[in-house]
Amino acid sequence: MDSPDFPIAAFDRRAWPMGGRLDYWTAPDGWAIRRYRLGDGTRGRMLVLGGRGDMIEKYLEVIDHWAARGWAVTSFDWRGQGGSGRLTADPMCGHIGDFADWIADLNALAADWRAEGDGPAVIVAHSMGGHLLLRALAEGMTPPDAAVTIAPMLGVHSAPLPRWLAVGVARLMILLGRGDHQAWTQKEQSERQRQMRQRRLTHDPDRYADELWWRDHSREIALGPPSWTWVLQALESTRALVQGDAIARITTPLLILATVADQLVSTPAIRKIAARIAGARLHVYGREAAHEILRELDPVRLDALARIDAFLDETALAGTVFGEIGR
């Protein structure tokens, strides 16, 4: 007798998956970095890096996906955002004094992560996390077996200001002692601003609502606009990466996903960088995808996951049992 077909339960994006571990990793200077781990690691180990203003909760759905595929997934909140404390008296201000501080955190945390076990080790990074990963690799970070960046921040949209003027304004505000102040206001109760922000991030109103739900139910992880210092750091760090020679030294197998409709990061800059990294693969979505590709409507999101999974099976898992199955 055939068993009845039962519907597969949808993933609850507003709850932590069963079996995970939420704790803190301590940076070399003693700073507590909130960390989450899920999965048994039969396929290998994966480190997931979020973007500016993100928190682990936004990526529980994809973390659960990769854990179900056999990856031991580790993710964390960057210093100064999510559950990893704040660097200014304003809890809604996304501040960092120097992007090099985040690079140091990434290098130290990744070193401990790599020491946790053997087998393939991969890194998947979104937006600002993608920029920090590529910069760290260019500066000599011990490379993973493969890496994926999604809408990496390799150029920052400064509209309506031209880049040179945005740099000048940021430097002036820092000289005026406002470096650790919010660079702009974000009216969280404004429905119009929420709709504008959603359109910049995703076409999926439900996944966007999940982010707001987490922020409303855990206010200590909520974050608003970046500081003027962050703005200047982002403009200068992205320019240095694009114009410097170090990016061409990256040899890690790399998949880059981007979209022509990105209103936050520069797709032309992504194309330029991708062309300079030997062997890098680039796929650019059309207007069906906004900045948060992994939190898009399912046709885009599932396509992106399929591309990532196939790439990791081909590169990081080449020669292993899983790699043979994946062919």
pLDDT tens, position by position, 47-100: 999 999 999 999 999 999 999 999 999 999 999 999 999 999 999 999 999 999
Residues 6+ apart with CB under 8 A from 69: 43, 309
Residues 6+ apart with CB under 8 A from 56: 22, 34, 36, 50, 63, 75, 76, 77, 82, 83
For the chain, which domains are there? 21-326 (3.40.50.1820)
- Contact status, residue 150 vs residue 125, Cβ threshold 8 Å: yes
Q: What six digits make up the tokens of 235?
A: 């403009």
Say if strands 254-259 and 44-49 run parallel, antiparallel, or are unpaired.
unpaired
CA 130, 61, 113, 217 dihedral sign is positive
Q: How confident is the model at residue 14 (pLDDT cuts 50, 70, 90)?
A: very high
Q: Is the confidence at residue 139, as pLDDT, over 70?
A: yes
Q: Is the confidence at residue 279, as pLDDT, over 70?
A: yes
Question: Which pLDDT score is estimated for 318?
Answer: 75
What tens digit of pLDDT does each residue of 202-216 get?
999 999 999 999 999
Q: Which residue is listed with tokens 């529980």?
A: 60
CA 168 to chain centre: 28
Q: Is the confidence at residue 27, as pLDDT, over 80?
A: yes
Question: Which pLDDT score is estimated for 325?
Answer: 40
